[in-house]
């Protein structure tokens, strides 16, 4: 029996009292646990899957920013999970315009084996002292009369266990059930969250007979609806992560059948073998306005820390886990896990990537109100570097020259070009406002009021229904 199994067996019933308890052994959870454990504190990670299945998560497997991960788990620990480091651009296939758009991707890019990566971040956190309890399902969040979260109740292999802790880290993923259990009435924690802010996705690992010619690219392809998309990400020249998704506000797609249909229409997938199938939900929304509550923080997908236009969330989750853990360590050292002490975590997220993601969400909103053929015509006319700037910088510079080029190339989609230009101005205004994110909970309400005024302008400009 492994050390983790032994410690897990010891916790199969009764009460445990670690300094911090982390719910979920994904990227954000493992980086949070590793950061806290490195400081000598007792941290337990609760994972509903078995030890064998832990780390097996539905994912596109693309990792942007592979060169700049937090050192809580050294990059050398996860590098063996990198299966393709030759990818350097996106390949955007636009069937409606019979064209392919090559989009450069700045920074280090890799495609990974997500299960292997998952195992390695668990191992990395365990190596510095984090304790993992597998086969453990949280059933309730414990909360004091003051409102402070004080731990969780769980079932492990049929036996009840109580985990009392100074801080609970919610790393339980999209639409986290923990948030349904907590009364956030006396804090700023963002509760403006519903299913319409998420995407339903499905992926398969597919083995092909011959190397694909686009093994150095991430392939994207829109479906016949603006809110649907397909992807083909090469783990190797012959092993492809193939998947698709749709916004939950839209009419549901038949994910398995629709992916199969597209695979059958691509000659490179003839006689292919499917190894693994998984589905999941992921955020396509702005980051939570606040992801802290006394004794409680949410990280990664559980706090909307995903690029809403690309679905990329691994690097953001790693940093969110690290930033949250830094404040948890401060709370443990001072004995004060209050909202005020934890607040700086929100600030670091917004400063690093949250503001950009909120600005990018504006383009997601635009896509729900635009005709798919017009959108594809515009994308076909856009220079690849401008799309890359939009996807990875949070905005895009659409000057007069670009508008004229798009007008000539997009076969008359002038109204869409003008709409995008106006939307870009809204996104810039929003980005500037996020750069003034408040330094304490007291300033959040006024900041939100102004942000909501800016969002009203987004809805008016795009013609989209309000998202929040």
Q: Give the pLDDT confidence of 340-390 residue by residue, as tens digits.
A: 999 999 999 999 999 999 999 998 898 888 766 666 666 666 655 655 555
Closest alpha carbon to 456 in 447, 466, 448, 446: 466
Q: How far apart are the first and last CA of the chain?
A: 49
Find where tokens 């799309």 sit. 387
CB 243 within 8 Å of CB 230: yes
pLDDT, mean over the chain: 89
Task: Specify the pLDDT at position 9.
Answer: 46
Q: Are strands 136-143 and 109-112 parallel, antiparallel or unpaired?
A: unpaired
Q: Are 291 and 303 in contact (CB under 8 A)?
A: yes
Tokens of 344: 């700086």
Contact partners, residue 439, CB within 8 Å, separation at least 6 = 343, 347
The torsion angles phi and psi of 440, rounded to 5 degrees, stand at -155, 160
The owner of tokens 């309400």 is 445
For tokens 């940093």, the residue is 319
Q: How far is CA 385 from CA 388, 390, 412, in A?
A: 5, 9, 22
Query: What is the structure's pLDDT at 401?
Result: 46
CA distance 455 to 450: 9
Check if the beta carbon of residue 248 is closer than 8 Å to that of residue 196.
yes
Total-model pTM: 0.90
Q: 99-113: b or e for each residue (b if 16 or more CB lie within 10 Å)?
A: eebebebeeebbbbb
pLDDT in tens, 419-435: 777 898 999 999 999 99
What is the rounded average pLDDT of the residues 184-213?
A: 96
Q: Is the CB of residue 2 less than 8 Å from the CB of residue 24?
A: no
Rounded to the nearest 5 degrees, what angle is found at the Cα of 303, between the Cα atoms of 348 and 332? 60
- Say whether pLDDT at 22 is over 90: yes
Starting at the edge strand found earlier in the chain, the sheet holding 296-298 runs 131-133, 43-46, 20-23, 167-170, 296-298, 292-293
The pair of structure tokens assigned to 442 is 């007291």
Answer whether 149's CB lies under 8 Å from 143's CB.
Answer: yes
Neighbours of 121 (CB within 10 A): 28
Record the tokens describing residue 429, joined without a space.
Answer: 């205004």
CATH topology of domain 84-106+195-283: D-Amino Acid Oxidase; Chain A, domain 2 (3.30.9)
74-83, 128-137, 378-387, 412-421, range with the lowest pLDDT: 378-387
125, 73 in Cβ contact below 8 A? yes
Find the range with the poorest average confidence among 188-197, 323-332, 376-385, 419-428: 376-385
In degrees and rounded to multiples of 5, residue 464 shows phi and psi of -80, 155
**Look-up of token digits 């929003």:** 430
CATH number of 3-74+115-194+285-353: 3.50.50.60
Domain boundaries along the sequence of the chain: 3-74+115-194+285-353, 84-106+195-283, 355-462
Is the fold of 3-74+115-194+285-353 the same as that of 84-106+195-283? no
Q: Which residue has the tokens 């400009």?
A: 461
């Amino acid at each position: 029996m492994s050390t983790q199994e032994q410690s897990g067996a010891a916790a199969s019933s009764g009460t445990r009292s670690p300094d911090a308890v982390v719910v979920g052994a994904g990227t954000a959870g493992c980086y949070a646990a590793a950061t806290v454990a490195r400081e000598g504190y007792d941290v337990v990670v609760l994972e509903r899957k078995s030890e064998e299945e832990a780390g097996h998560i539905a994912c596109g497997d693309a990792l942007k920013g592979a060169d700049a991960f937090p050192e809580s788990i050294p990059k050398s620990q996860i590098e063996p999970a990198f299966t393709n480091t030759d990818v350097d651009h996106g390949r955007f296939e636009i069937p409606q315009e019979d064209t392919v758009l090559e989009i450069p991707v700045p920074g280090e890019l890799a495609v990974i084996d997500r299960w292997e990566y998952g195992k390695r971040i668990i191992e990395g956190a365990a190596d510095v002292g984090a304790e993992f309890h597998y086969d453990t399902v949280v059933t309730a969040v414990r909360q004091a009369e003051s409102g402070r979260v004080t731990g969780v109740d769980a079932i492990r292999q049929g036996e009840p266990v109580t985990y009392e802790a100074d801080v609970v880290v919610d790393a339980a993923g999209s639409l986290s059930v923990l948030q349904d259990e907590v009364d956030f009435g006396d804090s700023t924690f963002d509760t403006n969250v519903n299913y319409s802010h998420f995407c339903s996705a499905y992926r398969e690992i597919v083995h092909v007979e011959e190397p694909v010619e686009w093994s150095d690219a991430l392939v994207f392809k829109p479906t016949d609806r603006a809110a649907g998309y397909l992807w083909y990400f090469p783990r190797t020249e012959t092993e492809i992560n193939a998947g698709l998704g749709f916004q939950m506000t839209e009419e549901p797609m038949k994910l398995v059948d629709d992916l199969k249909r597209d695979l059958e229409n691509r000659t490179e997938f003839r006689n292919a073998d499917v190894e693994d199938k998984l589905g999941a939900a992921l955020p396509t929304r702005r980051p939570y306005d606040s992801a802290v509550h006394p004794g409680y923080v949410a990280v990664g997908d559980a706090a909307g820390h995903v690029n809403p236009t690309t679905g990329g969330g691994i690097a953001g989750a790693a940093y969110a886990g690290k930033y949250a853990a830094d404040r948890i360590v401060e709370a443990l050292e001072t004995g004060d896990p209050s909202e005020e002490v934890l607040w700086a975590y929100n600030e670091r997220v917004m400063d690093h990537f949250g503001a950009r993601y909120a600005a990018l969400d504006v383009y997601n909103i635009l896509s729900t109100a635009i005709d798919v053929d017009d959108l594809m015509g515009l994308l076909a006319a856009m220079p690849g570097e401008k799309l890359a700037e939009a996807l990875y910088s949070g905005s895009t510079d659409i000057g007069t020259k670009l508008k004229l080029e798009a007008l000539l190339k997009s076969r008359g989609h002038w109204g869409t070009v003008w709409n995008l230009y106006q939307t870009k101005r809204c996104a810039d205004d929003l980005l500037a406002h996020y750069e003034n994110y408040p330094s304490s909970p007291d300033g959040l309400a006024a900041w939100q009021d102004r942000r909501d005024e800016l969002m009203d302008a987004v809805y008016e400009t795009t013609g989209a229904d309000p998202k929040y």
